[in-house]
């Protein structure tokens, strides 16, 4: 990148305010640069995000509302057959994954400007390019290594990575996708057939965890989509927050926590060094340790790169965070009501990365590193990706600058999103983790 181009790029990347002076010297150009991502929810979250009260949410169109009513009926039936209440994790599972009905299982757009939120691979191809560079560093040391991607969304990350692998001369033996949603599997296949037909024969879809995977595992924003339990401390006891019905509406209900949940909360309190205050509400994911255990069983040799918004246990369960980290997204509005719009809104939580690290170690995996998304990208080859920046026409420079700002700035995705890399066997530490590592914070 020459000096002039770098100046434009650096200015664009560091002027985070919409009216920051001197970005392009031209307000109209600046507006072009900024228009793309501000106002779109970067699942989760830009620091300046305003949470919305549910009355100010957009009204769903007729067919979405009808779909949501069917999902609500389905969940009501589950609650009635369970005797009047189900756990929050069961509610979240049904709302997101009930076959043919749930948010991820049915046809809602979900990703991008026409959906409910946008994820890093959808923000910029550069993201997939850097992830591919990091994967290639690992694959270089493993004979016949392959890629296993969990929860591939639209398939955009897979398409970008396959193209990047081809450019790097580092094509893996196979690119496998494990996706729980049949609808998304179809979308992934059609995107790959359309965008990268030359590589489609490398790709296959799995229905179960493979055994003896050698190579890399990639999961972008999968951990946050795993169902969580909610709990509340009431003086000497932990109660599970479940979901019941009152006048046919979903309502939170409390019951004494079952042994597994009570033990999980006791572990967290022990780590925090104190009991939660009376009335403290939060979540705990019992699915995360099970999922990490599955990864531990499946990975013979290589590295699993897990990306998500999240933090350390100390931050997650800080006393001032007394209502947890559960969030819902509907048409680029973030709010806290999981009961409204079931099946047509996303329900998600931030990730307790200390829990991920603990489960990894218990399952014989090494913690290769833990960095912010910004550190991952800057340490992992973003500079190389930007080498031809100066040769791009100005509108493309502006668009790319905007994308890089979104991916790396602390008030956007740069700090809240993290990558934890888990390894097994002799594997090199990928360059993204060589100059920065926050594992000690977990």
Ligand X SMILES: C[S@@+](CC[C@H](N)C(=O)[O-])C[C@H]1O[C@@H](n2cnc3c(N)ncnc32)[C@H](O)[C@@H]1O
- In the complex, what is the shortest distance from the CB of residue 109 to ligand X, in angstroms, rounded to a whole number? 12
79-87, 149-157, 331-339, 396-404 -> range binding ligand X (CB under 6 A): 149-157
- In the complex, what is the shortest distance from the CB of residue 234 to ligand X, in angstroms, rounded to a whole number? 31
One character per residue 401-430, x = contact with ligand X (rule: CB under 6 A): ------------------------------
Rule CB under 6 A: say whether 209 interacts with ligand X. no
- In the complex, what is the shortest distance from the CB of residue 179 to ligand X, in angstroms, rounded to a whole number? 5
Q: Give dist(CA 74, CA 372) in Å, integer.
A: 39
One character per residue 73-112, x = contact with ligand X (rule: CB under 6 A): -------------------------------x------x-
Rule CB under 6 A: say whether 121 interacts with ligand X. yes
Residue 357, SS3 per DSSP:
helix
Rule CB under 6 A: say whether 135 interacts with ligand X. no
Using the Cα atoms of residue 382, residue 226, residue 53 and residue 77 in order, give the sign of their dihedral.
positive
Rule CB under 6 A: say whether 215 interacts with ligand X. no
Rule CB under 6 A: say whether 268 interacts with ligand X. no
Q: Are 41 and 118 in contact (CB under 8 A)?
A: yes
Query: Which of 102, 115, 145, 153 is the binder for ligand X (CB under 6 A)?
Result: 153
346-376: burial string, b at 16+ Cβ within 10 Å, e else: bbbbbbbbbbbbbbbeebebebbbbbbbbbb
- In the complex, what is the shortest distance from the CB of residue 110 to ligand X, in angstroms, rounded to a whole number? 7
Query: Which of 106, 126, 184, 328 is the binder for ligand X (CB under 6 A)?
Result: 184
- In the complex, what is the shortest distance from the CB of residue 218 to ligand X, in angstroms, rounded to a whole number? 8
Q: Tell which positions 342-371 bind ligand X, by CB under 6 A.
A: none
Q: Are 104 and 184 in contact (CB under 8 A)?
A: yes
Task: Report long-range pairs for 180-187 (Cβ below 8 Å, ≥24 apart).
Answer: 180/97, 180/104, 180/105, 180/151, 181/97, 181/102, 181/104, 181/105, 182/99, 182/105, 183/104, 183/105, 183/106, 183/107, 184/104, 184/151, 184/152, 184/153, 184/154, 187/154, 187/155
> Considering beta carbons, is residue 233 or 331 the nearer one to ligand X?
331
- In the complex, what is the shortest distance from the CB of residue 128 to ligand X, in angstroms, rounded to a whole number? 10
- In the complex, what is the shortest distance from the CB of residue 384 to ligand X, in angstroms, rounded to a whole number? 23
Q: Are 37 and 329 in contact (CB under 8 A)?
A: no
Q: Give dist(CA 417, CA 298) in Å, integer.
A: 25
Residue 106, SS3 per DSSP:
coil
- In the complex, what is the shortest distance from the CB of residue 112 to ligand X, in angstroms, rounded to a whole number? 9
Residue 371, SS3 per DSSP:
strand
Rule CB under 6 A: say whether 220 interacts with ligand X. yes
Q: Where are the beta strands (DSSP E) in 26-185?
A: 85-87, 146-150, 175-178
Rule CB under 6 A: say whether 181 interacts with ligand X. yes
151-159, 265-273, 360-368, 403-411 -> range binding ligand X (CB under 6 A): 151-159
Q: Give dist(CA 35, CA 374) in Å, integer.
A: 21
Q: Are 255 and 85 in contact (CB under 8 A)?
A: yes
> Considering beta carbons, is residue 226 or 365 the nearer one to ligand X?
226
Query: Which of 138, 152, 355, 409 is the binder for ligand X (CB under 6 A)?
Result: 152
8-16, 172-180, 271-279, 317-325 -> range binding ligand X (CB under 6 A): 172-180
Q: Tell which positions 221-260 bind ligand X, by CB under 6 A.
A: 221-222, 225-226
> Considering beta carbons, is residue 221 or 385 the nearer one to ligand X?
221
Cis before 45? omega within 30: yes
Helix (H) / strand (E) element for 28: namely: helix 27-34
Name the residue whose CB lies closest to ligand X. 151
- In the complex, what is the shortest distance from the CB of residue 269 to ligand X, in angstroms, rounded to a whole number? 28
Q: Give dist(CA 310, CA 354) in Å, integer.
A: 10
Going from the C-alpha of 350 to that of each of 155, 197, 310, 317, 417, the distances in angstroms are 23, 35, 5, 11, 9
> Considering beta carbons, is residue 150 or 389 the nearer one to ligand X?
150
Report which DSSP code applies to 117: B
Binding positions for ligand X, rule: CB under 6 A? 104, 111, 119, 121-122, 150-153, 178-181, 184, 220-222, 225-226
């Amino acid at each position: 990148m020459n000096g002039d181009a770098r100046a434009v790029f650096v200015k664009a990347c560091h002027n985070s305010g919409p009216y920051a002076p001197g970005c392009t010297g031209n307000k109209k150009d600046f507006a072009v640069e900024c228009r793309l991502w501000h106002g779109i929810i970067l699942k989760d979250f830009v620091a300046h995000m305003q949470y919305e009260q549910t009355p100010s949410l957009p009204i769903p169109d007729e067919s979405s509302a009808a779909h949501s009513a069917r999902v609500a009926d389905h969940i009501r039936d589950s609650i009635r057959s369970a005797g009047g209440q189900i756990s929050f994790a069961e509610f979240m599972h049904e709302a997101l994954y009930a076959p043919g009905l749930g948010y991820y299982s049915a046809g809602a757009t979900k990703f991008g400007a026409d959906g409910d939120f946008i994820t890093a691979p959808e923000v910029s191809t550069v993201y997939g390019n850097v992830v591919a560079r990091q994967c290639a560093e690992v694959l270089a040391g493993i004979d016949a290594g392959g890629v296993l991607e969990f929860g591939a969304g639209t398939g955009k990350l897979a398409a970008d990575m396959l193209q990047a692998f081809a450019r790097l001369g580092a094509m893996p033996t196979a690119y496998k996708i494990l996706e729980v949603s049949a609808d998304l599997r179809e979308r992934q296949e059609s995107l790959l057939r359309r965008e990268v037909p030359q590589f489609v024969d490398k790709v296959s879809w799995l229905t179960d965890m493979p055994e003896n995977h050698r190579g890399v595992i990639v999961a972008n924003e999968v951990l946050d989509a795993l169902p969580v339990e909610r709990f509340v401390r009431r003086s000497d006891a932990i109660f599970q927050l479940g979901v019941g019905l009152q006048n046919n509406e979903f309502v939170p209900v409390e019951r004494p926590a079952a042994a597994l949940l009570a033990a999980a909360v006791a572990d967290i309190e022990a780590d925090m060094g104190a009991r939660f205050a009376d009335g403290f509400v939060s979540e705990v994911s019992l699915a995360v340790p099970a999922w990490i255990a599955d990864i531990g069983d499946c990975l013979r040799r290589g590295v699993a790169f897990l990306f998500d918004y999240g933090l350390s246990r100390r931050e997650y369960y800080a006393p001032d965070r007394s209502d947890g980290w559960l969030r819902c997204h509907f048409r680029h509005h973030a709010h806290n009501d999981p009961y409204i719009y079931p099946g047509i809104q996303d329900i998600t939580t931030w990730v307790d990365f200390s829990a991920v690290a603990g489960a990894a170690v218990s399952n014989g995996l090494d913690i290769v590193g833990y960095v912010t998304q910004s550190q991952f990208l800057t340490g992992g080859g973003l500079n190389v990706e930007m080498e031809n920046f100066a040769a791009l026409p100005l509108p493309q420079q502006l668009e790319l600058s905007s994308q890089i700002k979104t991916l790396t700035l602390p008030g956007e995705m740069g700090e809240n999103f993290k990558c934890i890399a888990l390894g097994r066997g002799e594997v090199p530490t990928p360059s993204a983790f060589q100059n920065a590592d926050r594992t000690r914070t977990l």
